[in-house]
Structure 1
Amino acid sequence: MKVLIVDDERHVRDAIRLLVNWKHHGIVTILEASDGEAAMEQIVRDKPEIIMTDMMMPVMNGVQLLEWLHVNAPNSKTIVISGHDDFSLLRHTVKYGGTDYILKPIDADQLNEALAKAILAWTKEEEHRHVNRERNIEMNQIKPVYWDKLLSNLIAEPSTYDGSADQLDKELGLSRNITQCRVAILSLDTMERSLKNKFSHNLDLLLFSLVNICNEFLSSKQRGFAFRYWNSDNEIVLFLWKDQQEAEAILTKINEGMRVTLRSRVDFGIGRSHPFPSDLLLSYQEAREALRQRNLMSKDTWIHSTLTPSAKSVHRALAFSHYEERIHLAIRSGSMEKIQESVQQWIDAVKQSDTITFEQLDHWWREYTVMKRRWVQEFFPRKNEDEVKMMLADEPSSMIVPLDEHGILSLTLWQQELTRSMLQLSKLLLQHQQKDKNIIFEIAAFLDQHYHEDITLQDISSRFFLSREYISRKFKQEFEVNLSDYLGQIRMDKAKTLLRNPHLRISQVAEMVGYQDEKYFSKVFKKQEGLSPNEYRKSSKSI
């Protein structure tokens, strides 16, 4: 905490320094000024919390300083120390916020008591100011969310207008006299990828910036208001209620502002003027449809207000699913060349059209998303739903339109994205297959080492954390023989080696290769080798 001592007499300033127990009061900085004018400079620069001032000084006296403090440093607390027992000076001190009026010669106890009182008053007020600051910060954070929700609800529920009409008039300039309104939409789905990538880790900041730019142009003359649409994560909605005939021109100016600020333009869809608030939804739907039906293959305008009839029927027969089998086989092959070839075939089919709408692109993207999910479930049958989601986490939750720097659909970028996505899936499949192959060979190695033990399929399932069905299927695929026959063959090969030792009884050999029952061992041995263990021993040359 800082204290400023203002007095034209040096010995008075020195006396105050000696009489106050600064450490006890928590004062760390003591400043001095010889008149009101010098005090003003100190106050502006150092912002002391407590000011002790004389009343009669040259240049600028205490009376004038108090008046200046009342306007320019209202939070500071002032203690007047004067040699004049003048009621008018005392009244002036009280009028302009002084906390105490002390007469010279200065009494140490009185001065320390006045300082403690001033510090207490400042501390309480500062606590109150802190609470207000926190409350204001919180309100500033909540306020945009409040308007987002209120205005979003107004689109779907026009009946909510009456309850908020006065507030809309006061805060936004949307008066009850407004009978017509147009709705415009700015969608992140149709935004240049470079801009979205720049804010990829903070889309909220991007949306906040876009809304602010829109409202800089709309709020100045209360033409309208922009807000984040509550029912969509990717849309900013603009209500335009003044100068509606110039709406397209206003949106063009907003777009230029975005170009200057963010170095990127955006596409706007705009609906026709409709009765307010009853038909806001209709204008919103028109704006949204205008964006979805715009031709992504050309850039004649950034403002879209009408539907192009030819755009609606373009390539309805062309479906991504028609290419599913060849893409599926290419991914399974693990061949980069095959994957690139399959994607190229799809892109070549798309290139046959001069018109591609967002709606059509969105349909193709959804087809591919469904197919990819189905492939993941097929390729990785042991993965649960959460694991499947993790494997698909690299895919965006909604389509990102691959636009070039001119806002035109880039088939090259789209081809690269599709190829990347398919190559990644193929790589995961190959890694999974390699892992499966490795674990099956681990199971085979385990059988080679533990053939003499009583091993069941359930034992192996528990040991390797795999289902019995999965082990059986994969083992048969890899070795072209089921697991029990594989284990039996190992045991017979070991038994034939041991039978060459004439000093081992047949029962001992049986037990050494995992059979506790000699008769069962002999039966299995004869079935597989065509000879009984004893006959095999006689026909074989021993050491």
Structure 2
Amino acid sequence: MYSVLILDDEEPLREAIRILGSWDMLGITHIYEATDGEEGLALLREHRIDLAMIDMKMPGMDGSEFLRRLEKDYPDVLSVVISGYNDFEYTRQAIRSHALDYLLKPVNRHSLNDVLQRAVEELNLRRKKAEELLRRGRTLNVSLPKLRENVYLSIVRRSFNESREADTLAMIGASGESPKLHAGVSLRLLNLDRVRRGRFYGDTGLLHAAIANVIQDCAPEGMDCFGFADPASHREMIVVCHLPNVSDNGAEEQLEYRIESYLRKLLPTLDRLFGLRTIAGYGAGSTVIAELADSYEQARRTVGEMNLLKLGELGYGIVAAKVCEARPGIGTGATLPESIAFAAAWARVAAAAQSGAPAQAQRIAEDAIVELKAGGYLALEEAQRLLFETEATNGDAEEGDLVDASQWERRITEAVEQCCRRARQADRTGASFHISDIRAYIDRHYFEEIKISMFTEKYFLSREYLMKLFKQEYGVGIHEYMQKLRMEKARVLLGEETLKIQEISDMLGYNDKNYFSKAFRNYYGVSPSEYRSGAGERING
């Protein structure tokens, strides 16, 4: 029924709380534990937590900082402060963060269960209020508003028959004696998960109903605005705008101006009321109701092509625009070269993770992100597609919140870390380790930067032990073996007269031709050019 997070770096205290708490009697079914603030935030992102019990003295992120983060990002999570130090500063921070209570160590059974009882009573009261709000929201969504939603949805999906449903159009106010201009708006909810969890108890329907009410309330005088959730995407609200066509001259320009003004009011209002970050696009107006589908498609395309790298520059998202920012020289819907390169880079990330090289995988991903951002443009739709594909490699892809470029980068980085963790777990359950595995890896990847730490992390063995074991088996150290293999490959490649010294240097993984030449001379006593000119016969002999 309810869930609790115990945040303390001391295992005995966490165990004592688990033993002393009357969890079943209070209806608390899930108990999560974390040893530091970062781990606690990760659990809050992953699970629905109702009550957090927080130790104030922890390494890294302490209880005070965690309380501030909790108040900012998860305001509906109740908190109880636990500390072995009767410090007024901790008490003051607990008061500032609206903590339910402050308990001193060692925690006793009576005090603990008294706090838990009051927490459950508060949660029950909140749930009752939420259910009442939900009931009211569902009541508002029946009858005429629900009919309007169904009709407009069928129009934008191009399944509405205007000739047979003329009376229905009149009933919902979409037609009449004087013609009306109709335009579609696409409203993208960028941080829906956070708002739904923090403000609406995880109920998406209740959030959509609240947004629909604000959409209608913000409509300017003389223009009708009706919004509803897209059944195909819970992160989008479809808004239909109507304006009486009082004059043929400049009517479309007037509609465009009024929609822009309307959205400039609507977006910050949603941010102020719910903390909801949104972006919006709108299409051209028309007096033909069937062309509302074209207007909506234009609006949705506009949102998808907005530049993710510039989102978040304003507090509530960005100002809506009829024509989205487009990168010069790139057509609508085209895949950018940087996106293609990023997809290729991700294949190398996965390969590095599978090979037990997490540092290399992270480096490849970071370089790919820098290259992708260098163009200055990344369409929101394209960013979401790339994110979905990277997370899909771990089997847990989902359309999560995406507010700005920094959040996109964090999710990519988390996908890399998850990919590496899965690879390590697979290794633990696989065949036993043999030193020949390292030699085989070097034979396949001699042209890459190989560090001993790659193998220590993969096989959970010390650096000294691995190097000693390798030398015992093959008579040379790991670094000496890599050097020997590269030099032997260099001799073979120098025999190909069509290859330039620079090309051979690149193929062997040397970033600098001069460094390659120096390494070759130190190893064989002649330069690569001298080897080609005849000295190679002496070396081969």
Bin the TM-score by the shorter chain.
Answer: 0.3 to 0.5
TM-score (structure 2 length as normaliser): 0.45
Structure index of larger Rg: 1
TM-score (structure 1 length as normaliser): 0.45
